[in-house]
Amino acid sequence: MRKEDRVCYTCLIIPDCILEADLMRVKKIVVLFLIVFFGTGFFSHNALASELKLTELELTVPILTKPILTEPILAGYYTAWSAYSGYTPDQIEASQLTHISYAFAEIGSDLRIRMGYPDIDPKNFMLLQQLKQQNPQLKTLISVGGWTWSGRFSDAALTEKNRQVFAESCITFMKQFGFDGIDLDWEYPVAGGLTSNKTRPEDKKNFTLLIKTLREALDQQGAADDKQYLLTIAGGAGSSYIKNTELALIHEYLDFAVIMTYDFHGPWDKYTDFLSPLYISSNSSPQYQASFDTGVTGWLNASFPAKKLVAGVPFYGYLYSTTGSGNDGLHQSFSKGKAISYQKIIELYVTNPEYRRFFHPQSKVPWLYNGCDFISYEDKESIFFKAQYIKSKKLAGAMIWELSHDKNGDLLNALQEGFK
């Protein structure tokens, strides 16, 4: 809550962004206050004014400047390159989502954001905005950076002048292409990401300043447009990200943050393992262990509020060609590995009688194994457990990476079922 509005007891002066349900709630609170405080005998404008020798009674009541969500956030990333394989934005089941983040815009050498895929972005932007005809409550955000294009974030955040240039370009881009907000996906401040990325120790504080500058610019534009623009980030689930950012401060400027609670293990490891285990297993492991739960707990322990935390779920898996055959393929060495979409896993492997499905009772995730290939992935059962976890922790909701991997909506439906 960043401001207060003065409210007359006979006519609530409330920003247009307040939802009708919330408006009625505020009115009821004010009416109840007057009844309790003054008694029902005074509940008329003239009598009350006469009794208090006032021509008008005003109460200072704090009013939220953002719509209050009455259901969990269900956000999905749409990747620009999905259009190259035929999955265009008009195929998204927009009625099932609250937010869509478009990945990605990049940061130019002038520190202004620009289209990452200028050959396909304009058409994608148009189709994305048309989804609001299916779901008028849908919010769209332009996501900046990502794994490939985070190299200039440190420069953009370095000075006040740079931050202003970056923020102004975000506003211009957002307005030009009809987005409702900005999503910052800096991978990563201070350390990590591509080896070619420029990083600095000062990134920790400068990231906070960059977010603050962008929040102020969005609020200023929102006041001019009579609209609430959104600001979100996507952040890492590991301890290094928590150490290298000021989570206890930045939440004040954000509508919500997405935590990338996946890619805990992958083809960069020495052994096969789970992509996104819900919990750490008590079984011995030949390598480091982390989980969906440790990631969320780390953010909460760093004083990031649960009500603004959106947990990420992967709609893809990793396929490994193992060189060992013990333990049903788990924690075995491998010769190669690759990412594979949930859609392909269903089409090529789940229905293949050569593959056997296993489910870990503690980590709450499935895997497939045929004596050679090990596949870590998510299915409807594991997604349901993650949704129940999100609900039990009173988090803001879930984020999907990414929408093209589940064209039939199996996992999206499982998320919704888990939230009920």
Kindly report the CATH number assigned to the domain that includes residue 305: 3.20.20.80
Flag whether 178 is in a domain: yes
- State the pLDDT at residue 52: 34
Residues 38 and 127 placed together within one structural domain of the fold:
no
Residues 125 and 235 placed together within one structural domain of the fold:
yes
Residues 23 and 153 placed together within one structural domain of the fold:
no
Flag whether 289 is in a domain: yes
Catalytic residue among 187, 216, 246, 402: 187
Single out the residue in 16, 40, 62 at which a domain terminates.
Answer: 62
Token pair, residue 212, equals: 């603050």
Query: What range does the domain containing 37 cover?
Result: 4-62
Residues 44 and 85 placed together within one structural domain of the fold:
no
Residues 129 and 106 placed together within one structural domain of the fold:
yes
Residues 180 and 264 placed together within one structural domain of the fold:
yes
Rounded to whole angstroms, the Cα distance separating 367 from 277 reads 11
Residues 46 and 152 placed together within one structural domain of the fold:
no
Flag whether 170 is in a domain: yes
Strand ranges (E), 108-180: 113-115, 139-145
Flag whether 281 is in a domain: yes
- Assess whether 160 carries a catalytic annotation: no
Output DSSP code: residue 42. G
Flag whether 81 is in a domain: yes
Ramachandran area for residue 282 (φ above 0: left; ψ -120 to 50: alpha; else beta): alpha
Flag whether 184 is in a domain: yes
How many Cα atoms within 13 Å fall on the side-chain side of residue 348? 10
Ranges of the chain whose pLDDT falls below 50? 1-70
Backbone φ and ψ for 357, nearest 5 degrees, come out as -90, 135
Flag whether 357 is in a domain: no
- State the pLDDT at residue 85: 96
- State the pLDDT at residue 11: 35
Residues 275 and 301 placed together within one structural domain of the fold:
yes
Residues 140 and 81 placed together within one structural domain of the fold:
yes
Do residues 278 and 390 lie in contact, with contact meaning Cβ atoms separated by under 8 Å? no
Residues 44 and 182 placed together within one structural domain of the fold:
no
Residues 137 and 272 placed together within one structural domain of the fold:
yes
- State the pLDDT at residue 324: 85
Per the structure, how many domains does the chain have? Answer: 2
Q: Which of 349, 334, 358 is nearest to 265 (CA)?
A: 334
Residues 295 and 401 placed together within one structural domain of the fold:
yes
Flag whether 31 is in a domain: yes
Single out the residue in 38, 62, 86 at which a domain terminates.
Answer: 62
Single out the residue in 62, 85, 108 at which a domain terminates.
Answer: 62
Cis peptide before 304 (omega within 30 of 0): no
